[in-house]
Copies of this chain bind each other. A is one copy, B any other.
Amino acid sequence: MADPPLRADARRNRERVLAAARDAFAESGMAVPLDEIAARAGVGPGTVYRHFPTKDALFTAVITARIEDLVADARARTSADDAGAAFFGFLARLGAEGAAKRDLSDAIAVPGPVRDDLHAALGALLGRAQEAGAVRADVSTTDLIALLKGLLTTVHGSADATLVGRILAVLVDGLRPPR
């Protein structure tokens, strides 16, 4: 049942493709042609398809790893700090990530397993923050994702470095319990 181990060159190419995909997706999101990813990796398109059945699968592989990092980061915060700070810290982290890489906004916009991962991660943090009274109780994870979409799709490549901060300020104030 276990797959036989990959040949050495195959493993190397797989890593190259993943690295090229990380860069390309970060710059241009899902819109980047698969042939360009292959070219950046120094392989042919056929090789990409040997390792990933579809372009979406490659995108999912790249983004899922990134989101897992973010979630691990957030989980670390959660145990140390209070739930409210963990939650808002995660939002800030998302904003910074979105400003640097274009793929997160595609990940949050397109329904699929990646979006579900992010949904789950946000849901856990949101729930704790709500129990602690740091966030209003009437917002759902779905609402939160909708609110973040605009942030992530707008901030990438903006010349204005203060943009993320201002948008987050509005979101944070709006998410706090009403007076």
The answer to whether B163 touches A154, judged by C-beta atoms less than 8 angstroms apart, is no
A113 vs B160: C-alpha distance when bound (angstroms): 21
Query: What is the chain B residue whose CB lies nearest that of A146?
Result: B154
A51 vs B176: C-alpha distance when bound (angstroms): 51
Q: How large is the interface on A (under 10, 10 to 19, 20 to 34, 35 or more residues)?
A: 20 to 34
Contact of A163 among B146, B175, B179 (CB under 8 A): B146
A147 vs B149: C-alpha distance when bound (angstroms): 8
Measured between beta carbons, the chain B residues less than 8 angstroms from A139 are: 166, 170
A153 vs B105: C-alpha distance when bound (angstroms): 12
The answer to whether B150 touches A163, judged by C-beta atoms less than 8 angstroms apart, is no
Measured between beta carbons, the chain B residues less than 8 angstroms from A166 are: 138-140, 143
A136 vs B173: C-alpha distance when bound (angstroms): 11
The answer to whether B154 touches A170, judged by C-beta atoms less than 8 angstroms apart, is no
The answer to whether A163 touches B147, judged by C-beta atoms less than 8 angstroms apart, is no
A174 vs B151: C-alpha distance when bound (angstroms): 14
Query: What is the chain B residue whose CB lies nearest that of A176?
Result: B173
> Lowest 10 CB-CB distances: which A-B pairs, in order?
A174-B174, A149-B150, A150-B150, A146-B154, A170-B174, A173-B174, A146-B150, A143-B166, A147-B150, A143-B167
